[in-house]
Chain A
Amino acid sequence: MNTKLIKTALRNISRNKRRSILSGSAIAVAAMSIVALFSLIEGMTDDMAFNLKTYYTGEVRVKHADYDTYERYNPMHLTVDWNSVDKALAKEDMVKSYVPRISFPSNLYIGGSNFGAMGVGADFEKEAGYQDLAGSLKAGRIPENGKNEMMMGAILARDLKLEIGDRVTVMSTTAARGTNAITLEIVGLFAFPVGALNSKYFWVPLDRAQYFLRMDGGVQEVLIKVNDEVTSIAAAPLLKAAVENSAGVEMDIRPWQELSTTYGMLKMAQMIYNFIAMFFFLLGSTVIINTTMMVIFERMREIGTLGALGMHGKELIRLFFLEGTFISMIGSAVGVAIGIGLTLWLSKTGIDYTDAMSGMDFEMSAIVFPKLSVGKTVFVYFYSVIIASAATFIPSRHAAKIEPVEALRYV
């Protein structure tokens, strides 16, 4: 490819600036949209994974060996011995933090009526090292161990017209497979990122939950976060061996990826996101192809002139290919740059889905922060350039084949 052809291509681009800018803008808008969309999806996926690991499963989860089998029967008696699990995990270097939890479906008895809610028994001191509990506290304080206190989801409290200082009687099924009730004072209101947690949940000190639910030192599950040097899949079997050795009983210890309900949900969400991304991606590609082809088809008269002046078919194809490549390189670069800028801005401000997510039981935060993926951004740049450049071949090949006289008939 000689430099003369490159110079001609650049001259053609600069000669009709308006056309070149329009063509480049279309490519830029498509590239920007795809970068922003990929970043949003990356942010949503990361957010859901974080929420699942923080609030639902941990990176590795410890449960009674039979719990999942009988889960639909609410088997509160299928617990793990917290002391032995605690002892075993405390010795493991690969463990970053871990928390015991007891989730119990319950009824809140208010004004003679029952309202369904989900209770969580938690060791708040340990929770502080596991999640940003203080940051999630909207009002009041965190309940204290040994006291009949609770903190309630801000939306649940609002729906039930409760506030800090109110006392609520909670009824639930116990580990003795009976029922029990206890009155707890609301000392705090929380707002976790996940809407469902705020509209259905209340948290109580672990020791009060154990007493109320007759658990005798047992907990329903232990959620573990592992150090960055080790993956949850690699850590799970090692932790299983250590914990089972300490407790002397078989337990269900699995990485979060193997917990079908949660990871399956994430995979499903990813599939949906990718489908949406693919749709927009194809839409973006269509815009790029359409713009490039239109630019060449409207220059048939010019092509005829060039042919009449002696430019061969292959040279014509190369010329238009170079023009398309230069425009797409500039357009893609601008688009990707704007996409990066937009993503970086939104990654700080976040996108608020509070209204859209209200009433939805989905493990995605109400405010999502897009996350830039370097690999995907580079891919979008090269993809846009290649698509736009390749799109020049179809009309330019067609143009190269027609006779100059025929090409001159195009207006």
Chain B
Amino acid sequence: MKNKIVMIMILLSLLIPVSVIALTGEEIIRKADDMQVFETSEATGEMRIKDRFGVKVSTFISWSRGSDESLIEFTSKAERGQKVLRTEDELYLFYPDAEELIRMQGSMLRQSMLGSDVSYEDMTGGKDRISQYDVVLEGEESVKGNDCYVLMMTAKVRTVPYPKEKVWIDKETFLVWKAEYYTKSGRLLKEMEALEVQEFEDRLIAVETRISDKMKTDTETIMVISDLRINVPIDDDKFSLEELSW
């Protein structure tokens, strides 16, 4: 009897790591998505856009609620007052000198945001990736000394910005350290890399990220979040079209 109990304990102890390793690709992606989504958040930051003509800095304040709603307001001189609103289904731009809101759709979404390496389309991704992609766990690799899962995601639907995504997700924190975005035929379109991370309420968040559009030569955009506040109260109509025009 005593031997039986020891045997069961040994087996149980062996099962624990086996259950961790046995996380499926979908589960890893779900955990990574959950790590990046807050009930509400407010952040200030800047985009450092480097191209052949030099470095341009645009500052912004952003608000988000859940995974589907966000609002960015630019505060730098050249773009002051311009806003980008993302709702569950739509993306709108507000320009102080324009009398109407500009709804981004179709090919307009592929335009670069303020000349950066980030397209408006990039802002529409991230919703329910599990239903949009087939996820295959390809293996494990170390990124900047962090053990990561390597996952290849292939789009099941045509409405996603990129047909293929390869992501490196931290095995412990589920932070996305690196991502590569490809065409259907496997041509590299864009790269993302977390440069600096910070812990917020037991979660590791990338506060400095480099994005590089591989279709352009010698360009990159560094997104820096200088101040992040999580679960702050935000007015219900913050993400409404009426509020956007104000």
Q: Is the CB of A177 within 8 A of B53?
A: yes
A193 to B98: give the CA distance in the assembly, Å: 32
List of B residues within 8 angstroms of A214 by Cβ: 78
A70 to B51: give the CA distance in the assembly, Å: 12
Min CB–CB distance A231 → chain B (angstroms): 36
- What class of interface size applies to chain B in its complex with A? 20 to 34
Q: Which of B58, B97, B108 sits near A178, CB closer than 8 Å?
A: B58
Determine the residue in chain A with the shortest Cβ distance to B216: A73
A77 to B52: give the CA distance in the assembly, Å: 12
Q: Is the CB of A112 within 8 A of B97?
A: no
Min CB–CB distance A56 → chain B (angstroms): 25
A171 to B58: give the CA distance in the assembly, Å: 19
Q: Is the CB of B78 within 8 A of A178?
A: yes
Min CB–CB distance A338 → chain B (angstroms): 57
Q: Is the CB of B99 within 8 A of A167?
A: yes
Q: Is the CB of B99 within 8 A of A183?
A: yes
A182 to B77: give the CA distance in the assembly, Å: 16
A128 to B82: give the CA distance in the assembly, Å: 36
A73 to B108: give the CA distance in the assembly, Å: 18
Q: Is A354 an interface residue (CB 8 A)?
A: no
Min CB–CB distance A63 → chain B (angstroms): 16
Q: Is the CB of B51 within 8 A of A177?
A: yes
Min CB–CB distance A259 → chain B (angstroms): 23
Determine the residue in chain A with the shortest Cβ distance to B111: A179
Interface string of B43-54 (1 = CB under 8 A from A): 000000101110
A15 to B33: give the CA distance in the assembly, Å: 106
Q: Which of B51, B52, B115 sits near A179, CB closer than 8 Å?
A: B115
Min CB–CB distance B107 → chain A (angstroms): 8
Q: Is the CB of A178 within 8 A of B114?
A: yes
Report whether over half of chain B's contact residues are helix, strand or loop; otherwise say mixed.
loop
List of A residues within 8 angstroms of B77 by Cβ: 176
What is the number of contacts between chain A and chain B, taking CB atoms within 8 Å? 61
Interface string of B103-130 (1 = CB under 8 A from A): 1010010010111000000000000000
Q: Is the CB of B78 within 8 A of A176?
A: yes
List of A residues within 8 angstroms of B108 by Cβ: 114
Q: Is B199 an interface residue (CB 8 A)?
A: no
Considering residues A148, A176, A182, A183, which has the most beta carbons from chain B within 10 angstroms of its beta carbon? A176
Min CB–CB distance B167 → chain A (angstroms): 29
Determine the residue in chain A with the shortest Cβ distance to B100: A169
Q: Is the CB of A75 within 8 A of B53?
A: yes
Interface string of B27-56 (1 = CB under 8 A from A): 000000000000000000000010111001
List of B residues within 8 angstroms of A177 by Cβ: 49, 51, 53, 56, 114-115
A180 to B79: give the CA distance in the assembly, Å: 8
Q: Is A212 an interface residue (CB 8 A)?
A: yes
Min CB–CB distance A406 → chain B (angstroms): 82
Q: Is A173 an interface residue (CB 8 A)?
A: yes
Q: Is the CB of A112 within 8 A of B103?
A: yes
Question: Which A225-256 residues have a C-beta within 8 angstroms of B?
Answer: none
- Chain A residues within CB distance 8 Å of chain B: 70, 73, 75, 77, 109, 112, 114, 148, 167, 169, 171, 173-174, 176-183, 212, 214
A-B contact pairs, 29 of them (CB 8 A): A70-B52, A109-B98, A109-B100, A114-B108, A169-B99, A173-B115, A176-B77, A176-B78, A176-B79, A177-B51, A177-B56, A177-B114, A177-B115, A178-B56, A178-B58, A178-B79, A178-B114, A179-B82, A179-B113, A180-B79, A180-B95, A181-B98, A181-B102, A182-B95, A182-B97, A183-B98, A183-B99, A183-B100, A214-B78
Q: A174-B78, A177-B56 are in contact. List 7 more A-B contacts (CB 8 A).
A: A73-B52, A114-B108, A169-B98, A169-B99, A176-B79, A178-B58, A182-B95
